[in-house]
Amino acid sequence: MNLDSNNPNVAKLLTMVGKRLGTDPNVLRQQLENGKFDAVLQKMDPGSASKLQQLVNNPTLAQQLISTPQAKKVLQDVLNQANQQK
Q: pLDDT tens digits, residue range 52-63? A: 788 778 878 878
Distances (CA, A) of 74 to 20, 36, 61, 71: 16, 24, 17, 5
For residue 3, pLDDT beyond 80: no
52: closest CA among 41, 42, 43? 41
pLDDT in tens, 4-49: 667 777 888 888 888 878 888 888 888 888 877 776 788 788 888 8
pLDDT, residue 86, reads 57
The C-alpha atoms of residue 82 and residue 86 are separated, in whole angstroms, by 7
Q: Give the global pTM.
A: 0.54
pLDDT, residue 85, reads 67
**Residue 45 backbone dihedrals phi, psi, to 5 degrees:** -70, 155
Q: What does the domain layout of the chain look like in residue ranges?
A: 8-84
**Sign of the Cα pseudo-torsion (2, 75, 79, 21, in order):** negative
Report which residue type is found at 59. P
